[in-house]
Amino acid sequence: GDSVTQMEGPVTLSEEAFLTINCTYTATGYPSLFWYVQYPGEGLQLLLKATKADDKGSNKGFEATYRKETTSFHLEKGSVQVSDSAVYFCALSEGSGGYQKVTFGTGTKLQVIP
Amino acid sequence: ETGVTQTPRHLVMGMTNKKSLKCEQHLGHNAMYWYKQSAKKPLELMFVYSLEERVENNSVPSRFSPECPNSSHLFLHLHTLQPEDSALYLCASSLEPGGTEAFFGQGTRLTVV
């Protein structure tokens, strides 16, 4: 079945550091890929997505490129802020017949210190 | 504010109690979901409803019973739970099942004692 593997956290960075959170996936077809973010005490919010190979999703300074050859969708940001501290979830969506199933990773906690 | 509201935010219940979690959305979405979020585990999809009909049930124990009376409301009825059921229960909705952006509520933190 489909699966998503994320790097284990927590990841601790100083403000303005470069961020990479790795995500790889296994899927039978051509899934859509997502990054969700969960701030403390909140539900998940969609951060960015990509629907086909070589697409780049971007939002709020975060980027991720859909790499079919390496089955990866790594999240990057050039300069993190304290307000980026949260848990980040990689996810994929795949299916047919009018219904698509979403599979989430375990989440990676990011802590940004001033 | 994501448009999906869950109540209560926190719930402590004994193993013999019966309680219900409530989820409400007024985004005009047709699909609603229950997820279980446990520490160090992937988000587990429990139930999916599309236009008030259940389309997926991921082998969830019968002590969890969902109800979707209309497209705006989703309930999760709980009875005779176990301590390992303690988790954050998240409700989400999307325009159509899967694929499109899901909007999540803040969750109900459930503790079974």
- The confidence score (pLDDT) of residue A42 equals 85
Query: B35, B43, B74, B90: which to substitute to probe chain A, counting the most A Cβ within 10 Å?
Result: B43
Query: A101, A102, A103: which to substitute to probe chain B, counting the most B Cβ within 10 Å?
Result: A102
pLDDT digits (tens, 9 = 90+) for A43-94: 899 999 999 999 999 999 999 999 999 999 999 999 999 999 999 999 998 8
- The one-character DSSP state at A83 is G
> How far is B47 from chain A, CA to nearest CA, in Å?
11
Q: How many other CB atoms sit within 10 Å of the CB of residue A26? A: 13
Say yes or no for a CB contact (<8 Å) between B104 and A4: no
User: Among positive and negative, which fits the CA dihedral A38, B62, A27, B97?
Assistant: negative
pLDDT score of B97 more than 90: no
